[in-house]
């Protein structure tokens, strides 16, 4: 038997079972051995009937007597037997609709049973207990730490345990996948020992060490792949890289502002500019909570790059956000240029040329912008997917910013990088736990903004039920009368009654389901609010509107021509309307915590007190600990950690279908494990010399050979 031996040559089973295994991508002996248990059940403590507690799952060794097949009036079949343990305690065993048990069990056979004891009158009974005959071979299904496997159709844990016994000897020839020095430094089990301990554990400590080993192996692989991607990309962009840092330029940029940047903003700018001084291209992720000032950081680096005669490009996921970036960054850069001129500084004596390139840009204007990018007269272009069109060519693109990177596909991001910008800054306003960021974005270095500019007030957040609606709407009306504005967020664009296959069609929401027709829609809510607030101006926004319609709607709202804006999640990121101080989120249970936090971040952008009201579809949803967390926490990073614990890393990171057991998946996001694996992966690419350790990944570095 070899690792590559097909299972059909090893297992005594039917074609149907082999076909199911094939569908699970289990074809060879090695595939079967790498199908790891999701957990283990400790059935190693053998008890007696006298020492067992009623209602608790126990394992008892004894002898079977009087096995009978009984036919009931309802035509159901029962198998009954008398069980006598080693201390002469007796119990009655009953199996419902399992006539095959009669063929398997023989009077006088010595077995180990596992189940829950119940009291039936004067008798002790076990209903449908698991059992295993005692023989010369070790127990497989009881009397030990029993592996529980992910089950699939006919493939049960019991079936898998029996088949693992057949291929057990092949575990010893599984190849090692980690370098010997890493195994030694991290005090890890060998791969074959770890897999043997998971399938055939002898004690709980072995299982824990084996899980740690397998989780480390997976995390090491992920980190190594990320570093390899980063190195390959850096080696492709070796020309026109280094941009010397000019601290005076940044000092003058700060001086042109009407406020003082936060400490974390200054640190992030320094980290980015230090990266851009190196002879390899920068690849950095700037992560910050809502309102932490990522745009200012990007603008400072843009100003520094333009001063070095380089071009910059910023790609945003939506046209609304691209236009807002264009307005904000243009204002900051023009203020900087004006400050430099009035201060008689040598640099930046003229305003930089900034262009906005989106799908709705008129054709003639598009051609003019493309010409300016090609001949170098356009310093900064801000846009959407239009930036990655083939005929968009840059003369000297040095700095590329991708806002909300996760909203773009890998190919879209690569296309923008191929335009020539060697230094790449990805930005996200979706707080990601640092552990998850190192895992999901391992090919980036990480900068985190932990502070918010100014002394912004905490947004009052309340989870509301139907009985609260009248009070809250009265409060909204008073606030509008005081000059404030309101966002209302709905899960749907239009009512779904017409599209439901039945009026009772439901969608899953955790442990509950709700009718589609119960979800709030923009169209229906606008109609309702126009009745409830007849004297107020109400407008709406959603993703199916034409770009010009969306732009005009946002312009009117920002200029206070509307009081209430009803929208879908299109306003989740980046929309900045300081006068809006209330946000109402309908169907709040439909959104993740990070998304709810993003919505909440649309208010709280001025000195006025702001409020967030979370309406759930049902009262039961209002009591959800996940939704209640929004009332207790205003940190996006804390909420992201809570979301990670509730939803699990598989759903958040897309590893649910990886084949890894949940116990190992959970380990992948243990901070200590991630740091250990990252450090080991970096050492893997560094030559074994005292001076090289920790110096990064330079040119000509060759990985260790895995033995």
Distance CA 693, CA 707 (A): 21
Q: What is the number of domains present in the chain? A: 4
Please give the average per-residue pLDDT across 443-464, as a whole number.
82
Nearest alpha carbon to residue 42 among 109, 142, 180, 129: 142
Q: What's the pLDDT at 304?
A: 95
- Whether residue 224 is contained in a domain is answered as yes
- pLDDT band (50, 70, 90) for residue 346: low
- Residue 119 pLDDT: 85
Q: Are residues 347 and 290 in the same domain?
A: yes
For residue 191, CA distances in Å to 82, 171, 213, 677 come to 45, 9, 8, 16
Question: 426 and 322: one domain?
Answer: yes
Are 91 and 126 within 8 A, CB to CB?
Answer: yes
Please name every residue paired with 284 in a beta bridge, in sequence order, or none if there are none. Answer: 425, 445
| Averaged pLDDT, 445-458 | 78
Backbone angles phi, psi at 433, to 5 degrees: -50, 140
Give pLDDT tens digits for 651-705. Answer: 444 444 445 565 555 665 566 787 788 889 888 886 544 433 333 323 332 333 3
Is 183 found in the same domain as 231? yes
DSSP characters over 25-69: T--BHHHHHTS--SEEEE---EE-TTTPPTTSEEEEEEEEEEEEE
Tokens describing residue 11: 């297992």
Per-position b or e across 515-544, b if 16+ CB within 10 A of its CB? bbbebbbbbbbbeebeeebeebbbbbbbee
Give the per-residue pLDDT at 176: 95
Q: Average pLDDT in the 103-121 region?
A: 85
Please give the residue that has the higher pLDDT: either 356 or 500: 356
CATH number of the domain residue 292 falls in: 3.40.50.300
Establish if 676 belongs to a structural domain. Answer: yes
**389 lies in some domain:** yes
Greater confidence, 82 or 689?
82
Domain shared by 434 and 490, yes or no: no
Q: How high is the pLDDT of residue 478?
A: 96
Q: How do residues 49-60 score in pLDDT, each as one tens digit? A: 888 888 888 888
pLDDT tens, residue by residue, 287-331? 887 778 899 999 999 999 999 999 999 999 888 889 889 999 999
Mean pLDDT of 65-77: 84
What is the DSSP code string of 150-191? Answer: PPBTTB-HHHHHHHHHHHGGGGGGPPP-S-HHHHHHTTPPPH
Quick count: other Cβ atoms within 10 Å of Cβ 650? 16
What's the pLDDT score for residue 344? 63
pLDDT at residue 505 is higher than 50: no
Q: Which two tokens stand for residue 38?
A: 């999701």
Q: Which residues pair with 461 in a beta bridge?
A: 612
Question: How confident is the model over 512-533, as a mean pLDDT?
Answer: 78
DSSP one-letter code for 439: H
| Banded model confidence at residue 622, pLDDT cuts 50, 70, 90 | confident
CA separation (Å) from 415 to 272, 320, 389, 392?
A: 22, 22, 9, 11
Average pLDDT of the segment spanning 72-88: 84
Tokens representing 399 are 């700095």
Any idea which of 8-22, 368-382, 665-679 has the lowest mean pLDDT?
665-679
The pLDDT tens digits for 546-570 are 878 888 898 899 899 999 999 998 7
Mean pLDDT value across residues 423-439: 74
**223-242 b/e with 16+ CB inside 10 Å = b?**
bbebbbebbebbeebeeebe
DSSP string computed for 617-664 = SSHHHHT-HHHHHHHH---HHHHHHHHHHHH-HHHHHT-TTS---HHH
User: Does 276 share its domain with 392?
Assistant: yes
Q: Are residues 54 and 107 in the same domain?
A: yes
Task: Identify which of 57, 135, 50, 132 has the alpha carbon closest to the alpha carbon of residue 91.
Answer: 50
Total Cβ atoms within 10 A of residue 200: 18
Task: Looking at the structure, tell me whether residues 278 and 325 fall in a common domain.
Answer: yes
Q: To 10 degrees, the CA torsion angle through 657, 659, 665, 669?
A: -70
Q: Which pLDDT score, from 0 to 100, does residue 657 have?
A: 43
Q: For position 701, what pLDDT does the model report?
A: 28
Confirm whether 698 is domain-assigned.
no
- pLDDT, residue 693, reads 34
Mean pLDDT within 612-619: 90
Are 429 and 464 in a shared domain?
A: no
Residue after which a domain boundary falls, among 449, 474, 498: 449
Q: Which two tokens stand for residue 660?
A: 């890894």
User: What is the predicted pLDDT for the residue at 109?
Assistant: 84
Token code pair at residue 372: 């300016």
Q: What angle is formed at CA 482 by the lines to CA 480 and CA 486, rounded to 5 degrees?
A: 30
pTM: 0.65
Q: Is the pLDDT assigned to residue 516 strictly greater than 60?
A: no
DSSP annotation of 537: -
Structural domain contains residue 162: no
Q: Is residue 697 part of a domain?
A: no
In a domain, 168, yes or no: no
Residue 108: other Cβ atoms inside 10 A: 9
Has residue 35 been placed in a domain?
Answer: no
For the chain, the distance separating the N- and C-terminal CA atoms, rounded to the nearest angstrom, is: 23
Average pLDDT, the chain: 82
Residue 421 is part of which domain span?
247-449
């Amino acid at each position: 038997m070899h690792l590559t031996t097909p299972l059909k040559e090893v297992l005594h089973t039917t074609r149907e079972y082999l076909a199911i295994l094939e569908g699970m991508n289990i074809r060879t002996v090695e595939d079967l051995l790498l199908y790891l248990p999701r957990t283990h059940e400790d059935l190693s403590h053998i008890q007696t009937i006298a020492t067992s507690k009623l209602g608790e799952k126990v394992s008892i060794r004894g002898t079977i007597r009087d096995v009978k097949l009984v036919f009931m009036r309802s035509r159901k079949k029962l198998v009954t037997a008398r069980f006598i343990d080693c201390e002469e305690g007796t119990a009655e065993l009953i199996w419902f609709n399992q006539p095959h048990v009669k063929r398997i069990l023989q009077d006088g056979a010595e077995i180990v049973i596992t189940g829950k004891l119940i009291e039936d009158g004067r008798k002790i009974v076990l209903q449908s207990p698991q059992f295993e005959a005692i023989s010369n071979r070790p127990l497989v299904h009881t009397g030990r730490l029993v592996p529980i496997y992910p089950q699939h159709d006919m493939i049960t844990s019991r079936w898998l345990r029996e088949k693992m016994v057949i291929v057990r000897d092949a575990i010893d020839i599984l190849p090692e996948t980690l370098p010997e020095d890493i195994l030694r430094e991290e005090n890890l089990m060998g791969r074959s020992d770890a897999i043997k301990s998971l399938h055939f554990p002898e004690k709980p400590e072995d299982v824990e060490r084996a899980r740690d080993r397998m989780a480390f192996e997976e995390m090491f692989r992920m980190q190594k792949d990320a570093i390899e991607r980063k190195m390959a990309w850096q080696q492709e962009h070796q020309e026109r890289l280094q941009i010397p840092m000019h601290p005076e330029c940044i000092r003058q940029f700060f001086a042109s502002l009407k406020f003082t940047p936060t400490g974390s903003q200054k640190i992030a700018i320094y980290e980015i500019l230090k990266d851009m001084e190196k002879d390899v291209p920068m690849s950095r992720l700037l992560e910050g909570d809502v309102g932490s000032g990522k745009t200012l950081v990007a603008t400072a680096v843009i100003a520094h790059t333009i001063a070095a005669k380089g071009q910059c490009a910023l790609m945003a996921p939506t046209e609304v956000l691209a236009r807002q970036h264009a307005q904000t960054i243009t204002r900051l850069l023009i203020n900087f240029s004006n400050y430099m001129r009035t201060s008689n500084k040598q640099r930046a004596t003229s305003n930089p040329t900034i262009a906005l390139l989106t799908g709705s840009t008129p054709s003639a204007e598009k051609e003019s912008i493309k010409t300016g990018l090609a001949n170098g007269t356009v310093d900064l272009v801000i846009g959407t997917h239009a930036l990655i069109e083939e005929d968009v060519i840059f003369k000297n693109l040095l700095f590329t910013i991708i806002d909300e990177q996760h909203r773009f596909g890998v190919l879209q991001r690569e296309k923008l990088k191929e335009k020539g910008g060697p230094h790449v800054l990805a930005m996200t306003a979706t707080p990601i736990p640092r552990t998850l960021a190192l895992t999901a974005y391992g090919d980036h270095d990480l900068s985190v903004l932990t502070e918010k500019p100014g002394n912004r007030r905490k947004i009052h957040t309340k989870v509301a039920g139907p009985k609260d609606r009248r009070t809250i709407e009265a409060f909204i009306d008073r606030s509008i009368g005081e000059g404030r504005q309101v966002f209302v967020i709905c899960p749907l664009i239009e009512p779904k009654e017409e599209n439901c296959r039945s009026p009772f069609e439901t969608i899953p929401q955790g442990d509950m389901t709700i009718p589609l027709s119960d979800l709030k829609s923009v169209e229906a809510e606008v109609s309702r609010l126009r009745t409830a607030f007849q004297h107020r101006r109400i407008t709406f926004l959603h993703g199916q509107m034409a770009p010009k319609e969306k732009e005009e709607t946002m312009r009117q709202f920002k200029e206070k021509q509307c009081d209430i804006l009803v929208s879908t999640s299109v306003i989740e990121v980046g929309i900045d309307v300081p006068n809006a101080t209330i946000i109402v989120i309908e169907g709040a249970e439909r959104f993740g915590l990070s998304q709810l936090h993003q919505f909440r971040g649309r208010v709280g952008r001025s000195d006025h007190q702001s409020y967030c009201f979370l309406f759930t579809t049902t009262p039961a949803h209002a009591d959800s600990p996940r939704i209640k967390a929004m009332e207790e926490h205003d940190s996006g990073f804390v909420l992201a950690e809570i979301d990670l614990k509730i939803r699990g890393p598989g759903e958040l990171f897309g590893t649910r279908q990886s084949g890894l057991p949940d116990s190992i998946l959970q380990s992948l996001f243990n901070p200590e494990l991630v740091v250990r694996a990252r450090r080991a992966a970096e050492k893997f690419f560094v030559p074994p010399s005292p001076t090289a350790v920790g110096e990064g990944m330079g040119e000509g570095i060759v990985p260790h050979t895995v033995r």
